[in-house]
Amino acid sequence: MTPRPQSRARQVAVRREPVPTVRTDGHLLQARGVSPADTKSDRKPVQVMKFGGTSVADSACIRQVVEIVRKAAKQNRVVVVVSAMAGVTNKLVEAAARSEAGDGDSVRTILKTLRAQHFAAADALIPSGPRRQLLAAKLTKLFDDCEGLCEGTVLLRQLTPRARDAVWSLGERLSSPMLAAALEEAGTSAEAVEAMDVVVTNARHGAADPLMDLTRARCEARLRPLLSGKIVPVTTGFIGATEEGVLTILGRGGSDYSATIIGAALGADEVVIWTDVDGVLTADPGHVREARTIPEMSYREASEHAHFGAKVLHPKTLRALAQCTFPVSVRNTFAPSRPGTRITPEGAVKSSGVKAITAITDVAMIKVGGPRIAKVHDVLGRTFAATAAIRADILLTSHSSAQNDICLIVPAAQAGPTVESLRSEFGPDLRMEVAEHIRIDENAAIVTLVGQNLGATSGLVGRTFAALGKKKVNILATAQGSSDCNISFVVEKKEVKAALNTAHREFKLGNPQISRRATKRK
């Protein structure tokens, strides 16, 4: 392989011998020994910047990202967390499924298309030279390994959770070396870092969570020396590894979570989530045209907003920040001068009332009830034990103590196993019954009002229900009171758009006069 050109920062680090060194992906660096007072750069703020799929969708977008990082790196020690190019993970999910089905032809076609897409971007960003050769070798190796894994799966027609995570993770593993090479090409020292080396997780494949003490130690060992050496680490989002080094993924859309995990581990000064809209908006702009940017939110508001369906942040993003105080900003890669949304522990002072409206549509409503259910012993406790046994995510519950009817909303994908688990729990009690006690409604959706101090603001529910009533939007169930930050209700899926727009207008969240956002088309 052609050696990588020496960057200035690397030369500086090398001169610090005889302090022990480690060889990383082309840079020779100090493993330890750079004390905080060693260099001026160690006094600069640490900023973790995450770029989503649309921000790295093609070579033009990646150039825009390079500009943002270059500018930020002048005043900060920057860690980049990068997603797969837009649409790539969806294709890999399909490739994994086709492999399991034994459809080798489809898998080869998908991987061939992805290979062409990545090489086209790489060619445009780095047309020639040793850096180009190194990058091409890296991309080729990653594609070859993934192809081998898929071929094995095609033969066995079996996709283990480990193999699935490995296939799904390819997109991030490709975009990280590509962005690092593009930064170096533009004169900013950068190095691709596999998140497997820094984010240590439990073994819950598909939805892993970090083990923070180990992650902190790994971030110190792997990322801190790069920052001290003025090198921008470009880490893969979405991915981690168990302590034994087995690759895991954090869940779809999980790169936001990667950014806050790494930010918390490094004790960062700020995390910036760069995306394709002007921050967190008052509603999904795909449903509500008048949606506009929320300037400031609290961790709690943003967390509930994400939990109840706002796609802009992964639901676990704020979870990593339990002990942190730094702001998380959400900004537009394609309009970087706009301030976006700033999420802080407390949010805007004295802010209360409805700030945003969200919806989750891929859910199912399960009702445990019927005439004899009231006589079943400990029906509530056993219902939740049965759902916990299959780790169902209960998004909302509502129940009437008079009849003991229980209404649960779960993600659509978990509806089947949840009903099965409930039927097996209550089967012996209800064997003699003719009526069906556990019913499922797949036409339901959750709509949620999000804001601070909602409990202390009178009339919210009345106003919402009256406004929805006027538009003939029927409310199937409600949940309120357990949190001060949300009021949720269930409507039919086909009514979601009407419900969102009606509530948005009722609380005057939009401003049609304001030019709302400069979005990049997906």
- Indicate the residue among 86 and 430 with the shorter CB distance to Mg ion: 86
| C-alpha 386: how far from chain center | 28
From 82-90, 150-158, 189-197, 425-433, give the range in contact with ligand ASP by CB under 6 A.
82-90
Could you give phi then psi for residue 407, rounded to 5 degrees? -120, 125
Window 356-415: residues binding ligand ADP (CB under 6 A) = none
CB of 256 to Mg ion, least distance (A): 6
Tell me the window of 44-52, 87-95, 180-188, 379-387 that interacts with Mg ion (CB under 5 A): 44-52
Q: Alpha-carbon distance 136 to 120, whole Å? A: 11
- Give CA–CA dist 389/214, Å, rounded: 28
Contact 296, 348 (CB under 8 A): yes
- Pairing of β 247-249 and β 28-30: unpaired
* Minimum CB distance to ligand ASP, residue 46 (Å): 21
474: left (phi over 0), alpha (psi -120 to 50) or beta: beta
Binding residue (CB under 6 A) for ligand ASP from 7, 47, 53, 290? 53
Smallest separation (angstroms) from Mg ion to the CB of 48: 15
- Minimum distance of ligand ASP from residue 256's CB (angstroms): 6
Q: What angle do CA 51, 57, 58 make, to 5 degrees?
A: 120
Binding characters for ligand ASP, 165-204, by CB under 6 A (x = yes): ------x---------------------------------
Judged by CB under 6 A, does residue 29 bind ligand ADP? no
Amino acid at 237: G
Q: Which two tokens stand for residue 168?
A: 């799904």
Q: How many residues bind ligand ADP, per CB under 6 A? A: 18
∠ CA 448-450-456, nearest 5°, is 115
SS (H, E, C) 491-509: EEHHHHHHHHHHHHHHCCC
Sheet holding 396-400, edge to edge: 396-400, 405-411, 363-368, 438-441
Please tell me whether residue 315 binds ligand ASP under the rule CB under 6 A. Answer: no
Closer residue to ligand ADP in complex, CB, 141/311: 311
Q: Per rule CB under 6 A, is residue 341 in the interface with ligand ASP? A: no
Give yes or no for residue 250 binding ligand ADP (CB under 6 A): no
- 277 makes contact, choosing from ligand ADP, ligand ASP, Mg ion, none, with CB < 5 to 8 Å by partner type, with ligand ADP
Cβ atoms of 297 and 352 within 8 Å: the answer is no
Options 312, 376, 444, 485; binder of ligand ADP; rule CB under 6 A? 312
Residue 49 interacts with ligand ADP (CB under 6 A): yes or no? no
Query: Residues 181, 125: contact at Cβ < 8 Å?
Result: yes
Residue pair 299/271 in contact by the 8 Å Cβ criterion: no
Shortest Å, Cβ 367 to ligand ASP: 32
Q: Which does 188 bind (CB under 5 to 8 A by kind): ligand ASP, ligand ADP, Mg ion, none?
A: none
* Tokens, residue 507: 């609380």
Alpha-carbon dihedral sign for residues 92, 93, 97, 98: negative
Closer to ligand ADP by CB, 403 or 511: give it.
511
CA dist., res. 60 & res. 74, Å (int): 22
- Cα–Cα dist 510/7, whole Å: 49
Q: CB of residue 82 vs ligand ASP: minimum separation in angstroms?
A: 9
Sole binder of ligand ADP in the list 7, 54, 169, 215 (CB under 6 A)? 54
What the block records as the tokens of 338 is 């706009």
Residue 387 CB, nearest distance to ligand ASP (Å)? Answer: 25
Q: Which one among 9, 26, 49, 52 touches ligand ADP, defined by CB under 6 A?
A: 52
Nearer residue to ligand ASP within complex by CB, 21 or 89: 89
Contact stretch for Mg ion (CB under 5 A) within 52-60, 162-170, 181-189, 389-397? 52-60
**Residue 340 interacts with which of ligand ASP, Mg ion, ligand ADP, none, CB < 5 to 8 Å by class:** none
- In angstroms, give the least distance from the CB of 197 to ligand ASP: 18
Mapped onto helix, strand or coil, the DSSP state of residue 139 is: helix
Tell whether residue 253 is a contact of Mg ion (CB under 5 A).
yes
Length of the chain in terms of residues written: 522
The whole-angstrom separation of Cα 447 and Cα 427 is 32
- The phi and psi torsions of 74 (rounded to 5 degrees) equal -70, -35
154 is a site residue for ligand ADP (CB under 6 A): no
Residue 326 Cβ vs ligand ADP, minimum distance, rounded to whole Å: 20
Sequence-distant (≥ 6) Cβ neighbours of residue 155 within 8 angstroms: none
Asked whether position 53 contacts ligand ADP by CB under 6 A, the answer is yes
Residue numbers 216-255 binding ligand ASP by CB under 6 A: 237-238, 252-255
Other beta carbons within 10 Å of 447: 26
H-helix or E-strand spanning residue 108: helix 104-125
**Residues lying near ligand ASP in the complex (CB under 6 A):** 52-53, 83-84, 89, 171, 237-238, 252-255
**Residues lying near ligand ADP in the complex (CB under 6 A):** 52-55, 83, 253, 275-277, 280-281, 283-286, 310-312
